[in-house]
Chain A
């Protein structure tokens, strides 16, 4: 079975499992992006987990500053189901771009999301509600307060040559 057929099959399974929680779905060569509303995020995550997606590979945030939104995405895949292990599903949600943007934490569903949500918190300042231990993980706290990966963060320019 070719790769696109597997992806198609997974898309169909996700559509039938999540039902009308799905706001939009995109697929591209083994990668499936499922858009849900932020208030449905935990419910959709637990449904995906019941399908067999048992771990979070990465938690990413895209700062779309022109549209004034944050795109929060959880890349999930499976270790236990060999069919589902061939695809990576992104459970994505779009939230409005504010200083203290809030999104429900998925640590209760997937434990492996805990540290990566902390990373997203320190780099983008997104508050994951319900996270057990939300504090900076990689950066020093004074650097993390600047939210360095937001697009409106400006690095102080240094001259190329020193006098």
Chain B
């Protein structure tokens, strides 16, 4: 649709020609390198495998052949040190909050987070429980996906939304130090989630 392509933050899903044309424009017009970095990072969001809960099935289905989220440039990877996105799948228990925070701190910046499912939003069915935490109190979350569990389409939509945020806000190009995110403050948990482990 030519009309909608003029809108800011357009998303070129599966349209390699348009995406390549856009990259060429950036290079030819000698735009800021940051723009190109934003563009490149948006198409290489690699989530780390941290399956905390049952939404992990939908996470797996998102990357399965039917929905194939790899066409957005996202590829689940095993090591936290080689990834730049964390997809919190569902409930985060008190013990898992420690693992979540440790994984988040191991990831190199720029890094982004998507929280998936009703449990990650506000407890879901484990609402009012003694043993869960809200993931947005542990790490800074960019995109929330409602649903119990969300469909794979919703996960794909969240990836696209994160790509749009990265490109619109020039996040990566202006993110020059790990602790200084340009658009919002870095979340630090009020109490140490690993206190039980450190003893």
Chain A positions within 8 Å of B, measured between CB atoms, are 138-143, 146, 148, 153, 155-158, 162
Which residues of chain A come closer than 8 Å to B94, judged between CB atoms?
A: 139-140, 143
Contact indicator B95/A140 (Cβ below 8 Å): yes
Known: A155-B130, A158-B123; 14 extra A-B contacts, CB below 8 A, are: A139-B95, A139-B131, A140-B131, A140-B196, A143-B94, A143-B131, A146-B130, A148-B131, A153-B130, A155-B128, A156-B128, A157-B128, A158-B127, A158-B128
Query: B residues 160-199 with Cβ under 8 Å of A?
Result: 195-196
6 contacts between A and B (CB under 8 A): A139-B94, A142-B195, A143-B94, A146-B130, A155-B128, A155-B129
| B131 to chain A: closest residue by CB | A143
Chain A: CB-nearest residue to B194: A140
**Contact across chains for B196 and A142 when beta carbons are under 8 A apart:** yes
- Using CB atoms, name the residue of chain A closest to B197: A140
Interface size on B, residues (CB 8 A): 11
Alpha-carbon distance A142/B128, docked complex (angstroms) = 18
Q: For window 91-106 of chain B, which residues contact chain A by CB distance below 8 Å?
A: 94-95
CB distance from A110 to the nearest CB of B (A): 27
Residues of B near A148 (CB, < 8 A) are 130-131
Quote the shortest CB–CB distance from B25 to chain A (angstroms).
44
Query: What's the nearest-Cβ distance from chain B to residue A157, in Å?
Result: 6
Q: Which residue of A lies closest to B193 (CB)?
A: A140
What are the 4 closest A-B residue pairs judged by CB atoms, nearest first? A140-B196, A140-B94, A148-B130, A140-B95
- Chain A residue nearest to B122 in the complex (CB): A162
CA distance A146 to B196 in the complex (A): 14
**Bound Cα distance from A140 to B131, whole angstroms:** 9
Residues of chain B within 8 A of A153, CB atoms compared: 130
A141 near B128: Cβ-Cβ < 8 Å: no
| Chain B residues near A158 (CB-CB < 8 A) | 123, 127-128
Within 8 A of A (CB), among B106-134: 122-123, 127-131
Residue of A nearest to B98 (CB): A140
Q: Nearest Cβ distance between residue B59 and chain A, in whole angstroms?
A: 23
Q: Give the distance in Å from the alpha carbon of A156 to the alpha carbon of B130 in the complex.
A: 8
| Nearest chain B CB to A109 CB, angstrom units | 30
Compute how far the CA of A148 lies from the CA of B131 in the bound complex, rounded to whole angstroms: 9
**By CB atoms of chain A within 10 A, which of B94, B122, B127, B131 has the most?**
B131
